[in-house]
Amino acid sequence: MEKSDLKSKIELLVIGGSAGSFNVLLALIPKLKTPINFAIIVVLHRKSGSTTSISEVFNLKTEINVFECEDKDPIIAGNIYFAPADYHLLIENDHTFSLDYSEKMNYSRPSIDVTFKVAADLYGDKMAAILLSGANSDGAEGLLYVNQKNGTTIVQDPVSSEIDTMPKEALKLFKPDFIANVDEIIAAINNF
């Protein structure tokens, strides 16, 4: 993937994943070039009530500041933000986070679809979205929506996915800009 392959300079990258994605993130985040000129939001399906702070785990693995999103936090380029467990992660017009406790979507809260869609409405062609390994269809419709708003879309190659359901569901809906293994995803992010 060459820089010229990308639709435009991005301001926001949203990564969604479920079962099998944590290990991808452990491989990916430490290999990101610093500083990054855009914000990264990660929406990961995980159990509510987890006592381990996901941001603490990743802060030990990168020079990039990693945070767990809090309501009304501003989105700042150069940071990585994780959606908190058991809340949908929304983005307001003033580029701050909003946490929502409405019903689960695709059996999930946070829902990848929800965050992909609100981000696409706000950022359009200035965003990229990556859908990783997972065991349900969450993220597929949201990724299609990102594509319709002219954002850059990447799906983890089902062959390299620990659980290939989520990538395959996205591929049933449309042809993303890139289908990539983990090393190719890292290279793509470093080219943004």
46 vs 99, which has greater pLDDT?
99
pTM for this predicted structure:
0.94
d(CA 186, CA 82): 18
Catalytic residue status for 18:
yes
Evaluate whether 69 touches 96 at the Cβ level (below 8 Å).
no
Catalytic residue among 113, 138, 164, 177: 138
| DSSP H or E segment with residue 88 | strand 88-91
Catalytic residue status for 45:
yes
- Cα dist from 108 to 18, 39, 168, whole Å: 10, 23, 18
Mean pLDDT of the chain: 92
Give mean pLDDT, residues 24-51: 89
For 102, how many CA atoms within 13 A lie in the half-sphere containing its CB?
A: 9
Q: Which structural domains are found in the chain, ordered by start?
A: 3-191 (3.40.50.180)
Share of the chain above pLDDT 90, in %: 85
Q: Which two tokens stand for residue 186?
A: 């890292």
Q: Please give the pLDDT value at position 178.
A: 97
Chain segment 50-61, per-residue pLDDT in tens: 556 888 889 899
d(CA 186, CA 42): 15
pLDDT surpassing 80 at residue 8:
no
d(CA 190, CA 29): 11
Catalytic residue status for 138:
yes
d(CA 89, CA 41): 10
pLDDT surpassing 50 at residue 94:
yes
Catalytic residue among 21, 45, 113, 133: 45
d(CA 39, CA 17): 17
Q: Please give the pLDDT value at position 3.
A: 39
pLDDT surpassing 90 at residue 158:
yes
pLDDT surpassing 80 at residue 5:
no
d(CA 6, CA 91): 24
